[in-house]
Structure 1
Amino acid sequence: MKNEGGKENNRHSTPGKKEAETLIQTVEDYRREKEILLALSNELTKVREKNDLLHLFKKGIKGLFYISHTIITLIDYKDETYTPFLLDNEGSPIRTHDRYQEMVHSRFSLNEPFIQSVLQASAPISFLLKEVMDLPQSPPFLQVNYEKGVTEILMTKLMKEGKPIGFLHIYTDKPEGFSAEFRSIINGIVPQISGAVSNILKNEELLKEEKEKSFLLDFSSEIAAVRTKDDLARAVHGAFRKLNPSGGFVIRRINEDKHTLSIYVYDMPNVKNRKIIKELENTSFEMNDGLQNRILNSAIPVLLNTEREIRRGITSTYLQYWKQLGIENFVGIRLRNGETNLGILLLDIDEINVRLLKGICAQISIAMANIIANDQVSKTQGEQAFLLDFSKDITRVRTREELQHAIFTVLDKTMHTKLAMIRVLEDDGIHLSAFMYDKSLFTKVKDQFDNMAAHRITVDEPYTAQVLASEEGIMFSVEEEIKSGNDYAGLWRSTGLKNMYALPLRVGDKSIGTIWILANRLSPLLVKGICAQISIAIANIQANEKLLTYKKKLEIENDYLKEQIKTIYNFSEIIGNGEAMQRVYRLISLVADSNTSVLITGETGTGKELVARAIHNASGRKDKLMVKVNCAALPANLIESELFGHERGAFTGATDRRIGKFELANNSTLFLDEIGELPPDAQAKLLRVIQERELERIGGKQTIRLDVRLIAATNRNLDEEVKAGRFRADLYFRLNVFPIHLPPLRERQEDIEPLANFFIQKYTRSTGRKIKSISPKVIQKLRSYTWPGNVRELEHLIERSILLAEDGKIDDLFIPESTGTDKTNPALLLNRSLDEVERSYIIETLKRCGGKISGTGSAADILKIPGNTLHSKMKKLGISKSDYFS
C-alpha cells in the first residue's frame, strides 16, 4: 500500500515509528506545498497580460502537477452568461473537435445547476464529466471535453471585491487526477489569480482606451483635410475598415424639405446586388418612419435588428432591401452639429462602442456640416452669378420672341425642364390670358392643352387666386392634385413630372401675371430670381431699379448665409468623459424619453442645470422652452404667485392677471432649482399640483389641467431635511422618482484638464486674450485642489488666470489657501485615534496629488510641511504606495 505521499509503508515498523514517519511526511508535504504556493504567488505578481498567465498555467502548474489543460471564463452580468477569456489553444485536447470554435465563441448561462453549484462552493470543486454532462441544462463544453478523453474538471470562482468575476477551469484525463495537495494549492493561489485577471482586464481596458484615442486622433487629422463628399467617403471608409473590415456604412442626409432623408455617401463592400444599391441611391425615405426618427431623437447609438424592425411594423422599403442583402444587425447614430440634425449614420456591425462611435460621429458631423455649408455657399454664389448674367441678358429683350428664346434656354439648360404656362393679367385687372408656353411639353394631350390655353380665366379662379395671394409661390404635387380632382392635373401628369411650381409675376407690389413650371425639384432661389427678371421683361419698366433691388436682396441673403456659417458651431455641451460622468450620461439617456420626475442632487457648481437641460433637450418636449424657477431666489410671499399664477385683484398689488410658471411649462419641462429652499406652505401646495396635475390660480376658480414634466435640483441632503422636519416626506418621495447625483469635481480628476481647456477656449474668445498653452505645473495644482465650488469655481478661476496671464501662457494659478469645505467633518472623526485621522488625511492628499510627495503641487506643498517630514510621517504611519495608488 501507498500513503498520500506515495511511499511504501514498512510492515516491520513499530507504531511509534510509523507515527513519526507520518508526521515527517506531513511536515514535508506542508513545506512542499508552501514552497509551491510561494513560487506560484511570486510568478502571479509578474502577470501583466494574458500570455503571462497562460505561460504560468502551462509551465508552472503543468510542470508540478499533471493536468490536461486550463481555461478561464468571465461573467457578464448584463445578460447573465459567462464566456471564454483565456484559452490554452496549443495544449487543449479539444482544439481538434468539430465544435471547438463554437465553444470558443459561446455564451454559457449562469442560471443552470452546474455553474450554480460552483458559485455556491466555498472552495475548488471537482466533477466527473460522465456524471454531470448529461444532466439537464449542463453546458455543452462538458460533453465536448469528455469526447476528447477528459474525465474530470476542477472549478473554482474568481472573486473581486466580494463578487464573482469568472471561473478557473482545470481539466484532467486521469482518474482521480486532482489530489488533496493540488486542490489546496489551487485554493491558495485563487486570490492571486483573481487579482491577476483583474489586472489583465484593467490593462486591456487602458490599452483599448489608448487605441481609441489614437484612432480618433488619426481620424480627426484625416477629417481635417476633408473638403468634398468624396473626401468624406474616403476618410470614413478608411476608418471603418480599421474597425470592421467586412462591414459597410451608409450616411443619409436630411433633405431640404426637412421631411425625408437620402443617401449622402456609402460603402457596402459585401453587397453584390448593384441594382438594389442603385434603387436606394435614388430614393428618399420619410424621416418619421418609426426608425429613422428614433435614431435622430436618440443621443446615443441605437442597435437595431432588421427582422425585428420589420415585425414591429416598419414599412420603409430599405428594410426589405437590407433583408434581401443579408444585413441582420446594424447600428444607427444621429449626425448632429450643435442643435441641428444633419442626418444619420448606419453601420453594419453587431456591437456598440458608444464612446468611440460618438467620437467618430462628432468628427463626421463637423466635416459634413462644413461640406454642406461650402456646397451651399458655392451653389448660392453660382446661382447668384447666373441670375446676374440672366438679368443682363433679359434687360436687352424687346420682343416676345426674344423673351421666349431666353426663357426656354434658361429653363432647359439650367433647370432641365420646360415652361408650362405664363399668363398675364389683362388691362381690366380681372382676366388673365396665355402669354407664353412650350407646346412640346404637352404633345401627348395636345388638343386638350390647346383648349385650356385658349381659355381666358379670372383672378378668382381657385388655383390662380392661391398663387396671386402667395408671397413665394406654391408647389402642387401632381398626384395629390389628381386625387383632389384638379382639372389641370391630368395635363400635368402626362409629362411624367412630379410637381407643378406656380409663382406670381410681380413688379413691385403689383401683380402682372402667373408663371407655371413643371419639374421634379427646383431651386427656390433660382425660380424666384428668374421670375423676377421675367416680370421685368414682361412689364418692360424700371429694369435698372429692379436689378439694383434684386442685387441688394442677394447681398442680404449672402450676409445671412455668412452669418449662418459663423454661428453654425455655436453649441454647448457637458464636459466630462470620466467614469462618474458616464454613469450620469447613462441615467440621462434612460430617463430622457419618459415623463418621469427627476431629482438632480449635487454640490453647488456641479452643473445641475446643464443636466436638466440635457434631459429636456433629449426628450419629446425639446421643441418647447424649458421653464426654470430658482426657488431660493423667490421671496416667501411671492412663491405661490410665481409658481401657480394669480387673478387680477387676488391680493393687494395684483393689478393684472399673472400666468404662473406651471402654466408656462404646460406640455414642456419645469425645472425647480434649489427645491430644498421651498418653505413648508409652498411644499404642500406644490405636492397637490404634482399629484392632481391641475391647479387654480390665486383668487381664481377655474381648474387648469396640466401636462408638465418636473425636474428638481438641490445641493441639500433631502433625506436629512425630511428627518429634521424641514422638508415634506411625501413631496420628497414624489420628486425622488428618478434621482441623478452629480459627482463633485474633486471626484472627477480625469475631467479637470478637459474642463480647463474648454474654459480657456471660451474666455480667450470673449476676452480677446490669446492663450497658447497651460503649464504642467498649473495642471498639477488644479488636480491637487479640492474644488469646494466645483466646476463653477474652476470656470471663474480660469477666467481670472487668463486675464492675469502673460506671454500667452498660463503658468500660475491663484488658488485659495483653504476654504470651509476643506475642513474635515467632525462627525466623521468620532471613534478614531489621532494617528488614524492623520494617516487618512495624508493618504487622501497623496491621492489628490497623484502620488507626488514633494515639490510644487505635491502633498508636502499642500500640507505645508517639508518633504522629509512627510516621508518620516508616512513611514511611521505605515503608508505605502498601494494606499494611494489604485
Structure 2
Amino acid sequence: MKNEVPNAIPKESKTRKKTSGQTTNNVRQEIDYKREKEILLALSNDLTKVRDKNDLITLFKEGIKGLFYISHTIVTLIDYKDETYTPFLLDNDGSPIRSHNRYQEMVHAHFRLNEPFIQAVLAADGPISFLLKDIMDQPASPPFLRVNYEKGVREIMMTKLMKEGKPMGFLHVYSDQPEGFSDEFRSVIKGIVPQISSAVSNIIKNDDILNREKEKSFLLDFSKEIATIRTKEELANAVRTVFKKINPDGGFVIRKINEDNTTTSPYVYDIDTKNPKILAALRESRFPINDGLQNRILNSSIPVSFNVDREIERGISSAYLRHWKEMGVKNLVGIRLRNGATNHGILTLHIEDINIPLLQGICAQISIAIGNIQAIEQIKKTQEEQAFLLDFSHDITLVRTRDDLQQAIFRVLEKTMNTQLAMIRVIENDGIHLSPFMFDRTLFGTAKADFDRMANHRITIDETYTAQVLASNGGIMFSVEEEIKSGNDYAKLWQATGLKNMYALPLRVGDKAIGTIWLLANRLSPLLVKGICAQISIAIANIQANEKLEAYKKKLEVENDYLTEQIKTIHNFSEIIGSGEPMKKVYKLISLVADSNTTVLVTGETGTGKELIARAIHYASPRRDKLMVKVNCAALPASLIESELFGHERGAFTGAIDKRIGKFELANNSTLFLDEIGELPLEAQAKLLRIIQERELERIGGKQIIKVDVRLIAATNRDLEAEVKAGRFRADLYFRLNVFPIHLPPLRDRSEDIEALIHFFVQKHSRNSGRKIKKVAPGVIHKLRAYTWPGNVRELEHLIERSVLLATDGNLDDVYIPETGDTNKKNEALLLNRSLDEVERDYIIETLKRCGGKISGAGSAAEILQVPGNTLHSKMKKLGITKADYYS
C-alpha cells in the first residue's frame, strides 16, 4: 500500500519540476485548475447527498481516497464543557490502527484542547500537516499520534470544521508516506471543508432527531407499563427491565425516604452480588439523608455523577458507599425521584455513558409510580386505622371510671403491634405540676422499685422531657439506645422492656394540654397513635371535668379582674420628666439594672415618683410583655397582707369561701412591685424573705409548693437602715431587697427639672379639664422654683391642676402656693404661750412631715435640722413623737 499510487491521478509532490518555458507552465496551471474545479464540484455534489455517518464514510472511502493517496480519515467533535475533543466518525474497516491494542481506548478517549498540537490546528487558516515523528513525543501531545505511527502512518493533515463562526470539530487525514499531501489535495480539502462542516452538522442534527424519537418511543412504552403498576413488586420488575435495555451491565438501587423524613431505606434494587452482608444491608439498612451525598442528590435538579473512592475520601461514611466499593464499582450517578414538590427517594445507578434526558424521563415515570403505590398503600392503611379507631372510640364512650379507661387502653394497645403503656401523667390544678394518672408497673421487671420511686416524683411542665412533649404538635419519639447514651435516667427503665422506642405525646382537649402519655413500641403509626391519644384525652377530661373546669374558671375570673384593673392604671401613668444631673444618675442606674433579674429597692420621699421608676425598669426589661403586678403594703390591713401576697385555699379561714390567687402567682414570669415595703408587718416579712430565697410559696391553708419566677422591685420612703436598728424591719430581708438601691432625689434638689414638670402637668391637666393654657408666666416658674416642695412632684402636680382650673384667659399668670406670711404671724403669737419643749416638738414634727417621715440619711429631717440621726431619735423619744404625729 505504501508504494501503490492510483493510475488515474498521479501523486503530486510538493516540489514541481520546472518546464523550459512559461507557456508550458501556464497550460499546466490551467489544466490543474480545471481538474481541481471538477474535483471540488463532484465532491460538493456528493456532500449535499450526505444524510448519515455511513454516507460520509463512503464519501471518504470512495470519493476522496479514490482521487488522492491517503491512509484513512476520521472526524472528531469538540466538547467545550470539559475542553476536550472526541472521535465522532471512524473508518473502522479502512483504518490501519484498528488492530492496535489501544484502538478501543482511542475510540472512547477524550483528548484535551489546551495542548500545543491542537492549538496549532485551531490557529491555522486552513489545512495544516505534521510529520508524526516530529510531534508525537512532545509534551501533552495526544496518544493517538503514536498509535498511528506504530501502525505505519507517517503524516497527519488536520483542518477545523466550523459552525456559526466557531470550531465544532476537526477533520483528520492520515498518510503512510512522509510529505504525502500535495498542494492540489490541500486546496481541494480547503475547498470542501465548509461542505464537510455542514454535512457533519446535519448528521448530528439527524442523529439527535432520531435519538429523541427513539427516546420518546422508549419512554412512551415505559410509561404505558408504569401506568398499570400497583405494587412494589411490579415496579421492581419494570425498572429492572428498562435498565437492562439501556445499561445491561450496571446495577441500581432505589432508596425511599422514610416517614421520619430524615432517613432513607432500600425500596427496589438490582445489583450483581452474592455477598450476604450487602444483601442484608439492602433489605434492612436505614441511612440519614443529611450524610453529605444523599442530600446533595436530593437538592439537585439534574443527575449527580460521583466517584465512590473520592466520596469516601471526602469523609462520607455511609455504609452504602463501602458496599459499592466492595463490588468494584467506581463511578455512579444519583438522581432524585421527585413528583411535583415531593421527594420520594433516590435512584443510584451504575452507568458509564449517561443520556441525561432519557434518564430524567425514566426517573419521572418511576417517581409517579412510587407516588401511586404509596398513595394506594396509605389509603389501605388509613382505612384499616380508621376502622380500628372507630372500634376504640366505641369502647371509650362506655368509660365512666379510671379502671374502665385503663382496661380500654390496655385492650387497644395490645392490638397495635406490641405497644405498651408506660405512663399517663395529668396536669394538676395549679397548671404547673403533673401527677401519675395511669401506668403499668409490670412492664419493668426487676426495675419495679426504680419505677415506683421515679413515678411518684412530682414533676413540672418545665421538666426537660415533659416540656419538649407539651411543646410538640404530634409528639416526640425517643430512641431508647440514644437516650441511654445521653444519661437519661428514665431510659434505664425503658430498656428493661426490650422495646426500641419511647413515644411521648401531649394529651389535649381542643387547644388545652391536660397531660402526657408515654408509650413503648418498636414502631407506631402517627395517625393511629394520634387518634388513640385524642380519644384518651377526651376520656380523661370527662373523668376530671367538673372539678378542673370549675377551678380553672375561678382562676381566670380572678386574673381577669386584676388584669382589667391594672390595664386601666397602666394607661394613666405619666412619663418620667427630668433631665438634670440627679435624674441622669437615676436613668443610668435604670439602664444598668433593667435587663437583669436583680431585685431593686427604690427609696425617696413621698411624692417623688417611685412607682414610675419601677414601671420604667419593668418595661425596659425582658419581662415587658407581661403585666407588672403592684401591691401597696401600706394600704392593706395586716390580717389580709398574707392572703393578698400569697393567696389562700378555700376554707383556709373564716370568710375564705373561694380559692384566691396571690399576687406572687399572678406575677409569675413578670415583675412584682411592693410599694411602701417598710409598712410590712414582721410576720409577713419572714414569709416574704422565704419566697425571695426559695422562689416558692404555699397558699394559706394549702399544702402544695408552688414555684414562682418573679422579679421584685420594692419602694419605701422610710429609712430602712434605721428601721432595722429599731427592730421594726428584718435585717436579712433588708439585705435581700437592697441588692441594687436607686434613690430618687426630692424635688427641691432638682430645681432644674421644675420648669419641664410645670409644662408637662399644664399640658396634661389642660387636656383633661378642657382648658387651653397657651402660656405660663415667667413669674409663676420663678415662684415655683423658690418653693421648698415638701410634697415633691405629687404636690407640684396637684398645685398645677388647681391653678389650671382657676385660669380663665388661657394664661397661667398665678399659682397657688401654701401661705407663709399671716399664718406665721399667728403662729408667732401661739409660740409666745408655749414652752420650749412644745415649740421644739412641733418644729420636729413639721420637718418630719416635709421629709415624708425620713429621720436620717440624705434628704432626712436630721439633715435639715443639722443634728445627728441618733440625737434626733433621742429627742423624738424624749418629746413623745410617734409615727402617728407625722404620718397622716
Q: Please state which band the TM-score falls in when normalised by the shorter chain.
A: 0.5 to 0.7
**Equivalent of residue 94 in structure 1, options 97, 100, 116:** 97
Please tell me whether Structure 1 or Structure 2 has the larger radius of gyration of its CA atoms.
2
Q: Is the 8 A contact 1:431 1:456 kept in 2?
A: no
Rounded to whole Å, the distance in 2 between the matches of 1:257 and 1:84 is 49
The letter for the 2-side match of 1:256 is E
Q: Determine whether 1:213 maps to 2:251.
A: no
Aligned equivalents of 1:410 and 1:24: distance in 2?
111
Describe the SS at the equivalent of 1:335. strand
Q: Distance in 2 between matches of 1:496 and 1:223?
A: 42
Find the counterpart in structure 1 of residue 326 from structure 2. Answer: 324
Output the CA distance in 2 between the equivalents of 1:289 and 1:15.
81
Gaps of 5+ in 1: 9-13, 544-886
Structure 2 counterpart of 1:128, from 128, 131, 138: 131
The reply to whether residue 47 of structure 1 matches residue 39 of structure 2 is: no
Q: Is the aligned partner of 1:235 residue 2:234?
A: no
Distance 1:201 1:475 in 2: 57
Written as runs of structure 1 = structure 2, the 5 A alignment for 1:92-241 is 92-241=95-244
**Equivalent of 1:289 in 288, 291, 294:** 291
Distance (Å, rounded) in 2 between the aligned partners of 1:50 and 1:464 = 72
Aligned to 2:679: none
Q: Are the equivalent residues in 2 in contact too, given 1:303–1:352 (CA < 8 A)?
A: no
Instruction: Please give the alpha-carbon distance, in whole angstroms, between the structure 1 residues aligned to 2:392 and 2:381.
Output: 16
Q: CA deviation at 1:378?
A: 1.9
**What TM-score do the two structures reach when normalised by structure 2?**
0.53
Moved more, 100-109 or 217-226: 217-226
**Among residues 440, 443, 446, which one is paired with 1:437 in the alignment?**
440
Deviation track 1:608-666 (CA, whole Å, cap 9, x = no partner) reads: xxxxxxxxxxxxxxxxxxxxxxxxxxxxxxxxxxxxxxxxxxxxxxxxxxxxxxxxxxx
Matched AA of 1:360: I
Quote how far apart the aligned CAs of 1:47 are.
0.5
Q: Does 1:384 align with 2:376?
A: no
Q: Give the Cα separation in 1 of the matches to 2:56 and 2:74.
A: 10
Indicate if the aligned counterparts of 2:257 and 2:265 stay in contact, CA closer than 8 A. Answer: no
User: Contact between 1:434 and 1:456, CA under 8 Å: does it hold in 2?
Assistant: no
1:276 counterpart residue number: 278
Deviation (angstroms), 1:474: 4.5
Question: d(CA) in 1 for partners of 2:269 and 2:477?
Answer: 35
Cα offset, 1:89, TM superposition: 0.9
Residue 478 of structure 2, aligned match among 476, 479, 491: 476
Match of 1:253 among 237, 253, 256: 256
Matches within 5 A, 1:860-871: none
Match of 1:266 in 2: 268
Distance 2:434 2:120 in 1: 94
2:316 counterpart (314, 317, 334): 314
Within 1, Cα distance between the matches of 2:326 and 2:108?
A: 27
Letter in structure 2 aligned against 1:261: T
Tell me: CA distance 1:28–1:74, structure 2 relative to 1, closer, same or farther (3 Å): same
Read off the aligned partner of 1:456 and give its amino acid letter: N
Contact conserved, 1:536 with 1:542, CA < 8 A, in 2? no
**Gap change, CA 1:196 and 1:488, over 3 Å in 2:** same
Q: Which runs of 5+ in 2 are unaligned?
A: 13-17, 546-888
**How far apart in 2 are the matches of 1:504 and 1:7?**
96
Cα distance between partner residues in 2 of 1:309 and 1:47: 46
* 2:456 is the alignment partner of 1:456: yes
Please state whether the residue corresponding to 1:522 is helix, strand or coil: coil
- Determine if the alignment matches structure 1 residue 60 to structure 2 residue 63: yes
Q: Is contact 1:330–1:348 with CA below 8 Å preserved after alignment? A: yes
Q: Is the 8 A contact 1:261 1:287 kept in 2?
A: yes
CA distance in 2, matches of 1:119, 1:464: 71
Distance 1:496 1:388 in 2: 30
Name the CA shift for 1:514/1:290 in 2 (closer, same or farther; >3 Å): closer
Whichever residue aligns with residue 456 of structure 2, its letter is: R
For residues 557-594 of structure 1, the C-alpha deviation after alignment (integer angstroms, 9 at most, x for no partner) is: xxxxxxxxxxxxxxxxxxxxxxxxxxxxxxxxxxxxxx
Find the aligned partners of 1:531 and 1:506 in 2 and give their Cα distance.
8
Partner SS for 1:96 = coil
Deviations along 1:713-751, one digit per CA (max 9) or x if unpaired, are: xxxxxxxxxxxxxxxxxxxxxxxxxxxxxxxxxxxxxxx
1:84 aligns with 2:87: yes
User: Structure 2 CA distance, aligned partners of 1:508 and 1:183?
Assistant: 90
Does residue 487 (structure 1) correspond to residue 489 (structure 2)? The answer is: yes
2:39 partner SS? helix
| Partner Cα distance (2:8, 2:229) in 1 | 74
- Provide the rounded CA distance (Å) in 2 between the counterparts of 1:483 and 1:308: 32
Give the CA deviation at 1:85: 1.0
Match for residue 69 of structure 1? 72
- Alignment correspondent of 2:348: 346
Equivalence for 2:569: none
Q: How does 1:426-825 map to 2 (within 5 A)?
A: 432=435, 435=438, 437=440, 439=442, 441-443=443-445, 445-446=446-447, 448=449, 451-452=452-453, 456-458=456-458, 460=460, 462=463, 466=467, 473-483=475-485, 485-503=487-505, 515-531=517-533
The 3 A distance-change label for structure 1 pair 409 and 37 is same
Partner of 1:821: none
Give the distance between the partners of 2:380 and 2:207, measured in 1 at CA. 47
- Would you say the 8 A contact 1:73–1:167 is kept in 2? yes
State the 1:88 CA deviation.
0.9
SS in 2 for 1:266: strand
**Partners in 1 of 2:71 and 2:542 — Cα distance?**
100
Amino acid of the residue matched to residue 309 of structure 2? E
Per mean C-alpha deviation after superposition, the further-off stretch among 243-252 and 377-386 is 243-252
Q: Is contact 2:161–2:169 with CA below 8 Å preserved after alignment?
A: yes
What is the Cα deviation at residue 383 of structure 1?
A: 0.2
Q: Equivalents in 1 of 2:163, 2:517: separation in Å?
A: 78
SS in 1 for 2:98: helix
Q: Larger deviation: 22-31 or 174-183? A: 22-31
User: For residues 15 and 479 of structure 1, do their structure 2 counterparts lie closer, same or farther at Cα, with a shift above 3 Å needed?
Assistant: closer
- C-alpha RMSD over aligned residues: 4.1
Offset of residue 271 of structure 1: 3.9
Instruction: Quickly say closer, same or farther: Cα 1:106–1:396, change in 2 above 3 A.
Output: same
**Change in 2 beyond 3 A, CA 1:5/1:361:** closer
Amino acid in the other structure paired with 1:96: S
Would you say the 8 A contact 2:160–2:171 is kept in 1? yes
d(CA) in 1 for partners of 2:328, 2:72? 39
Matched to 2:284, the amino acid is N
Deviation at 1:195, TM superposition (A): 1.4
What is the one-letter code of the residue matched to 2:199? A
Describe the shift of the 1:449–1:75 C-alpha distance in structure 2 as closer, same or farther (beyond 3 A): same
State the Cα deviation string for residues 156-188 of structure 1 (Å, max 9, x = none).
Answer: 222223322222222222344323332332222
Summarize deviations over 1:512-554 as a string: whole Å, max 9, x none.
97643212321122223334556778899799xxxxxxxxxxx
Aligned match of 1:617: none
Q: How much has 1:464 moved relative to structure 2? A: 8.8
Judged with a 3 Å threshold, the aligned counterparts in structure 2 of structure 1 residues 236 and 28 are, in CA distance, closer, same or farther, namely: same
CA separation in 2, counterparts of 1:427 and 1:121?
A: 93
Secondary structure at the residue paired with 1:42?
A: helix
In the TM superposition, residue 289 of structure 1 has moved relative to its aligned partner by 3.0
Alignment of 1:820-859 (within 5 A): none
3-state SS of paired residue (1:157): strand
